[in-house]
Chains A and B, each alone.
Chain A
Amino acid sequence: MDLSAWLQPVANGLVFGAILALCAIGLTLIYGILNLSTFAHGDTLTFGAYMAFLFGTSLYLGARIVPLALGVAIVIGLAVLADRLWTRKLARLERWVLAGFALALALDAAYVQWRQPGAWLGTTDRVLVLATLLGIAATVLLSVLLELALWRPLRRRGATVLSLVIASLGLSLILRNAIQMAFGGDQVSLQRTVDASRSYLGVYVSNAQWLTLALAALVILGVHLFMSRTRTGKAMRALADNRDLARVCGIDVNRVVVHVWVLAAALVALAGVLLCLNQNNSLRTDMGFNVIIPIFAAVLLGGIGSPYGAMVGGLVVGLAMRIGPAKYDIAWAFLVLVAVLILRPQGILGRKA
């Protein structure tokens, strides 16, 4: 009995499922709280990965001052943001911080082009961590800006579900293609040492896969603690559960919404980097778009608005996609989706509407 042949897809599926889970948590909160099924979530993942790649390239090229300054800016900025986002418009300081970070981002890209025009070089293991953090920060910045410039005005106008979906579709197109215009259509890779795999009872697990699992587990634990222990986390859950009631209880909806975007963006950007690591260190401009259906399947399976459900849903969908034949993996995710919609539309942990 060839156990390893059977277990290998399971192992792969768990890793892939962990990545999906990270994406799904953010999306399920956005869906549950804002009633927004954003098709741009997949492309946000791509954005996060490419941003990490951008920062990695500049670090690779030896830029020292820039990332250091950026790192400091991020830490200060995020701390301040996390603490002071209770006004509808951002206060002056935060605006300057964000503007500064955006400027630094632009400078970084310019620096790369100046040093080695036309070539993107990737990153090295040593600086991957910093590059990832910076990439996450850039994605958070993008999401918050979009919330302020696009989603909040639309919500205020009372846009219908139809309008929101169309807008998210437009956003998805813009994101994906802007990345393609900036980075070129070819595949790029993160430069890393070759990924070592070791065999456990015939099942090959690479370092990248272990890293993914470990990180995902840590992050999920962190999310759990955040959701259950902190005020903002509990407010998020309350909002996802019953919006009007939460508002009546004095929760500042706009502030929590921004926090939701921050959390979702951070998770999905991390997922993007992890996905890249698991795909032979390569990035493609449609990498996020290709997983949007599985992410939605995970969200629906777990129940909209339930982060715990999203975690479970992600794992299940990931397993389904890797256990079935490789050529039709999307089809399996689709089947899960359809099955959920027909049999139990509220998902595993959701409540009947």
Chain B
Amino acid sequence: MKRTEQQEALFIDYLESCKKLIAKVARVYCKDEEERKDLMQDITLQLWKAFPNYDDTYAVSTWTYRIALNTSISHLRKVTTRSAVQTNKYSEGEIMQVEADTVDENLEHLYRAIDLLKPVDKAVVVLQLEGCSNKEIAEVMGLSASNISTRKLRIKEELKSHFETTK
């Protein structure tokens, strides 16, 4: 499908609105800076590819979370080198660039704690921190709301224990 200028402009606006989420999700799933850049590129390209087929039965946020998290989990798991959601690097530069940012110690501590969680639990915690309700998290994850509640309790305990031991 040929992209029109209007679509490109819409996509840029949309990307501007979700760039922080992409950067944070990529940080949660990739510690390595170079790998993180690749992941951000992958997420952006997946969003770009899916943009014309946006399914409006879901909220834009649900749609974005699903693509970002699916791409990140697959990237992390490296399910296969021929992964369905993996795309080749775009060689002409980076669509999303991150300039050197200031280090927030609390945030780094939080990232380190999240890093200890399993891939699916990482997704749940990201959605929780983004302010999603159990129902919204369940919709993004494709799990039941009660499952999400149970997971959240366990995740909370794991994070708590991490923060206590690293005090």
Is the pairing of A and B real? Answer: no
Residues of B near any A CB (own CB < 8 A): none
